[in-house]
Amino acid sequence: MEFDLVIAGGTVVDAQQSRRADVGVREGKIACVAPELSGRRVIDASGKLVLPGGIDSHCHVEQLSSAGQMCADDFYSASVAAALGGTTTIMPFAAQHRGDSITAVVDDYFARAATKAVVDYAFHLIVSDPTPQALQTELPLMAARGISSFKVYMTYELLRLSDEQMLEVLLAADREGALLMVHAENHDIIKWITRRLLERGHTSPRFHASSHHPIAESEATHRVISLSRLLDVPALIVHVSGIEAVNTIRDAQHLGARVFAETCPQYLFLSATDADRPGLEGAKWCCSPPPRDAQSHEAVWAGLKDGTLQLFSSDHAPYRFDESGKLPRGQATTFKEMANGVPGLQVRMPLLFSEGVRKGRISVNEFVALTSTNHARMYGLAHRKGSMDVGCDADILVWDADRQVTLSASMMKDNAGYTPYEGRQISGWPERVLLRGELIVEGDRLLAQRGSGEFIACGTPAPVARPVQRAPDGPAGVFRKLIGA
């Protein structure tokens, strides 16, 4: 039986196992994984790893910040950067700002992505204005449109929700079979430290990390977990950075809380001291939560290894080092005013492979789980993405584990204009990238056409199979009956 395409002679890796096999592709799907297949086209993968395409479930693309700054990437530049770094599905945010109609926001994101993306995409929804109309009428429409994850913020003046609002959004997520993602930092702690720092003339970028104190993160993390436990509704804490937050999440999971968590390259490979540079240069290393220190790096590695943290995403939030992003008031910009975020879509997988797999911290199967499979399961994409299973989209990487690369801004395809990893030497890079069976990257060359990426509708998030896990007669169930929730 001849296949449209065979990827021959490589080591096929998924989240469970690694095996020497060929991969047969038919009509854009994985049709067979077995030795000695024959195809009309053959890609020689001998000596290479053959992996499912990466899924980056946290990136900001064509998104307006609450301060009105447009991030530097549109769906073309972001998706090209993703493709060149081995990511074949991205999940950016359709961001509701206060007063916005959710339907109008989502329509706008669909229109922006459709003509530009070169990789496949799905959306999360940011909810910043949970009015009764939004909760009762608009959120129920989202699942029908394939959006089954909502992000809420506990900080940022114009985005943050009160605990009461978070409880309402948790209930709405539960009703709609959606997963709540939370940016967990204590707003008042950050605001109070920021005011005192600025009063003392501490305005430069390095003070951003002082203001976003790790205790602001761990307190908010504990609070989200409490809200989630109160209602027995799952929550996913995004961009976990600090040792105390990791430990808080692990403890809660041991107690049976249905809490999941994500971390990002900046919490393994960057430090608060990176922002300590002359002038405003350090703004390039500022994101929220901020990069921490060696002790937190080790805690994050341990959390990835023992399953406390299930997802490794980029939180790609690209802003240029000029008045459009990092320096809205030019040289007078204080750390409070600069846009928060670092670019990372293109380097997410190579960095984790080099520092994790090559250095023996995680197995190559754990690498696949953390960069692809777990994202598909967590957000309801596993019917098409994130594995080498027969029937899944043939989103496949031929990965050269030995290619040596020195990271530099000149090789980055995003529009940030810099990389916080400048000069870093890594081993391992995708040699070929296939999307639904089509070769979209060969070496450093993009072959995909603008707009060839497809929207993928998310189903129900899989790790939160509520009907099975919920105990209606357990303490949370009895309590919810009492309050009519």
From the CB of residue 387, how many other CB atoms can be counted at a distance below 10 Å? 22
Query: Could you give phi then psi for residue 5, rounded to 5 degrees?
Result: -150, 140
Distance CA 234, CA 236 (A): 7
Residue 388 binds which of Zn ion, ligand URP, none (CB < 5-8 A, kind-dependent): none
Position 212 contacts Zn ion (CB under 5 A) = no
Residue with tokens 């993390």: 221
Taking the complex as a whole, the smallest distance from the CB of residue 289 to Zn ion amounts, in Å, to: 8
Give the CA distances from residue 335 to residues 53, 127, 218, 220, 447, in Å, rounded to whole numbers and listed in that order.
37, 26, 22, 22, 40
Taking the complex as a whole, the smallest distance from the CB of residue 5 to ligand URP amounts, in Å, to: 37
CB under 8 Å to 114, separation ≥6 — which residues?
451, 455
Position 375 contacts ligand URP (CB under 6 A) = no
Query: What x/- string results for residues 313 through 352 when contact with ligand URP is judged by CB under 6 A?
Result: --x-x----------------------xx-----------
Taking the complex as a whole, the smallest distance from the CB of residue 136 to ligand URP amounts, in Å, to: 27
Residue with tokens 């490979």: 269
Taking the complex as a whole, the smallest distance from the CB of residue 481 to ligand URP amounts, in Å, to: 35
**At 29, which helix (H) or strand (E)?**
strand 29-34
Taking the complex as a whole, the smallest distance from the CB of residue 183 to ligand URP amounts, in Å, to: 5
Query: Could you give phi then psi for residue 88, rounded to 5 degrees?
Result: -105, -10
Number of residues that bind ligand URP (CB under 6 A): 9
The pair of structure tokens assigned to 98 is: 């206060």
Site for ligand URP in 88-117 (CB under 6 A): none
Helix ranges restricted to H, 232-293: 243-254, 266-269
Residue 287 binds which of Zn ion, ligand URP, none (CB < 5-8 A, kind-dependent): ligand URP
Position 287 contacts ligand URP (CB under 6 A) = yes
Closest CA to 233 of 298, 273, 308, 178: 178
Distance CA 285, CA 274 (A): 6
CB under 8 Å to 143, separation ≥6 — which residues?
176, 177, 178
DSSP 369: I
Distance CA 214, CA 422 (A): 26
Position 183 contacts Zn ion (CB under 5 A) = yes
From the CB of residue 277, how many other CB atoms can be counted at a distance below 10 Å? 15
Residue 186 binds which of Zn ion, ligand URP, none (CB < 5-8 A, kind-dependent): none
Pick the closer one to Zn ion by CB: 337 or 389. Answer: 337
Residue 228 binds which of ligand URP, Zn ion, none (CB < 5-8 A, kind-dependent): none
Query: What x/- string results for residues 307 through 346 when contact with Zn ion is judged by CB under 5 A?
Result: --------x-------------------------------
Pick the closer one to ligand URP by CB: 124 or 229. Answer: 124
Pick the closer one to ligand URP by CB: 239 or 297. Answer: 239
Taking the complex as a whole, the smallest distance from the CB of residue 60 to ligand URP amounts, in Å, to: 5
Chain center to CA of 388 = 21
Q: By beta-carbon distance, which residue lies closest to Zn ion?
A: 183
Site for ligand URP in 48-77 (CB under 6 A): 60
Burial class (CB in 10 A: 0-12, 13-18, 19+), 484: exposed
Residue with tokens 């890079």: 429
Which range in 178-186, 261-269, 274-282, 365-373 contacts Zn ion by CB under 5 A?
Answer: 178-186
Taking the complex as a whole, the smallest distance from the CB of residue 313 to ligand URP amounts, in Å, to: 10
Distance CA 280, CA 320 (A): 13
Taking the complex as a whole, the smallest distance from the CB of residue 177 to Zn ion amounts, in Å, to: 23
Distance CA 418, CA 293 (A): 22
Position 182 contacts ligand URP (CB under 6 A) = no
Q: Which residues bind Zn ion (CB under 5 A)?
A: 183, 315
Q: Which residues bind ligand URP (CB under 6 A)?
A: 60, 183, 239, 287-288, 315, 317, 340-341
